[in-house]
Amino acid sequence: MATKALDNFQSEVRAWLDDNCPESIRGPGDVPGGGKKVPIKDPDARHWLDLGAEKGYTVPMWPEEYGGAALGKDEYLVLLEEMRRIKARSPLQGMGIGLIGPTLMEFGTDDQKLRHLPRIAGGEIRWCQGYSEPNAGSDLASLQTRAVADGDNFIVNGQKIWTSGANHSDWMFCLVRTDPDVPKHDGISLLLLGMDQPGITTRPIRLISGDSPFCETFFDNALARKDDLVGQLNRGWGIGKRLLQHERSGMTILMGGAAKPVSTENPFLKLIKAYGADDALIDQVISHQMRDRAYRLTQRRTVAESEDGQTPGPQTSIMELVTAELEKEDANIKTLLRGFRGLGWEGDGFTDDEIAATRHYFSVKRRSIARGSNEVQRNIIAKRVLGLPD
Ligand SMILES: Cc1cc2nc3c(=O)[nH]c(=O)nc-3n(C[C@H](O)[C@H](O)[C@H](O)COP(=O)(O)OP(=O)(O)OC[C@H]3O[C@@H](n4cnc5c(N)ncnc54)[C@H](O)[C@@H]3O)c2cc1C
């Protein structure tokens, strides 16, 4: 885009944000995940989502007919910059805009795009990911959940596990076995199915941190429409892997409208002031913050260097691995800074913040397993990025 046009766009966006972004949305805080089952209690967040959806800024680069603003890459980077300037949070986040949306854009039929994408962009539908099973995690292609064609539908039977947010979701994208008699990668299909039907039950799994972020999901003659098969029958493995690249790229947050705003106060400085720290610990803080900053800049460079904002291929595993390590390192250093006060689990001897931080320290361990374990990411980097032999 010519510089003049881009300058005009920047002025327009700046004025729009200044006029419309509520004060309470400027700074760290929650970002709604959309859907029918989790009401947005904060009226400002509701208003910001409605405005964002109307303007196409929940999915800025999607075409207008699917609820986006049809921004080019340059304009999109300007929008990110302007949102960052006022520390505006994204109006919406979730697996709809980050995972299944971009996948449908690449592989969906026109009908699927028209039925699903605008509802994703508007935050009307929350999605969950039905991939892992009790005997199929890293070796995902061993999945056994069966889908059998029956008239206009598929009938689905089996079980998924670790399904994040399944109990709060309206729809699921699900890898199923549609041909058990061929090599395992060749008999898998990707289906979309509504969660509100008698054939689907979810059971939340409770973690040591006290959270319950994911569920077991059971299918007992659940129905998926045949026109909700994504891509060709038995060709779901390649599409399912592409969806994981969208997930692992870390561009999900960016595609939601803006990178997570940086807190006005350096959280490490706050802890150093409160608890004190020796030079060695301060060195750790500085190295970590430099790595974190470098990662964020790399993430932005990925968008800048991509073709029309397209998600890269297997290189996304590098991003996933680095993010997982950074998030754990962040929690670890904060625990070290708190000293023994970083070990509080419950009771009056610790503040609410300290207790929450201990739970976060445990909870963040999941990052090296979720979205594919660190070992699996390293395997992908070795084989598909570096071209090392099997
Ligand atoms: C917080 C969280 C959220 C999740 N959300 C979802 C979700 O929404 N939907 C969904 O479908 N799944 C979800 N998962 C599941 C996640 O994708 C799996 O847990 C992950 O793929 C690992 O599978 P697994 O648990 O079966 O472990 P396994 O595959 O049994 O692995 C066990 C260990 O063996 C190692 N290992 C396995 N194979 C290899 C190999 N070839 N080389 C080297 N090491 C190997 C692994 O790295 C791991 O350390 C979530 C998991 C977590 C923790």
pLDDT tens string 33-80: 999 999 999 999 999 999 999 999 999 999 999 999 999 888 988 998
Measured in Å, residue 369 CA sits from the centre of ligand 1 at 5
In the chain, which residues fall in CATH 2.40.110.10?
A: 127-240
The set of protein residues with a Cβ atom below 6 angstroms from ligand 1 is 128-132, 137-138, 162-164, 213-214, 366, 369-370, 372-373, 375-376, 379
Average predicted confidence (pLDDT) for the chain: 92
Cα–Cα separations (whole angstroms), residue 51 to 148, 238, 270, 369: 42, 36, 34, 36
Answer whether 312's CB lies under 8 Å from 249's CB.
Answer: yes
Question: How many Å is the maximal CA-CA distance in the chain?
Answer: 69
CATH of domain 127-240: 2.40.110.10
Answer whether 79's CB lies under 8 Å from 70's CB.
Answer: no
Measured in Å, residue 162 CA sits from the centre of ligand 1 at 9
* DSSP letter assigned to residue 191: E
* pLDDT tens by residue, 115-136: 999 999 999 999 999 999 999 9
Residue 300 pLDDT: 78
In the chain, which residues fall in CATH 1.10.540?
A: 3-97
> Residues 6 or more apart from 283 whose CB is under 8 A from it?
none
Instruction: Look up the pTM and report it.
Output: 0.92
Answer whether 335's CB lies under 8 Å from 361's CB.
Answer: yes
- DSSP states of 340-384 as a string? GGGG--SSTTS-HHHHHHHHHHHHGGGGGTTTS-HHHHHHHIIII
Segment holding 298, helix H or strand E: helix 279-305
* pLDDT tens by residue, 303-312: 777 777 778 8
In the chain, which residues fall in CATH 1.20.140.10?
A: 265-385
Helices 267-275, 279-305: crossing angle, 10 deg rounding: 170
Protein residue closest via CA to atom 27 of ligand 1: 137
* DSSP letter assigned to residue 315: T
Residue 259 has pLDDT above 60, yes or no: no
In the chain, the DSSP E strands lie at: 127-130, 146-150, 153-164, 171-177, 188-194, 200-205, 214-225, 229-230
Measured in Å, residue 312 CA sits from the centre of ligand 1 at 22
What is the domain class of 265-385 according to CATH? mainly alpha
CATH of domain 3-97: 1.10.540
* pLDDT tens by residue, 276-315: 999 999 999 999 999 999 988 888 788 777 777 778 888 8
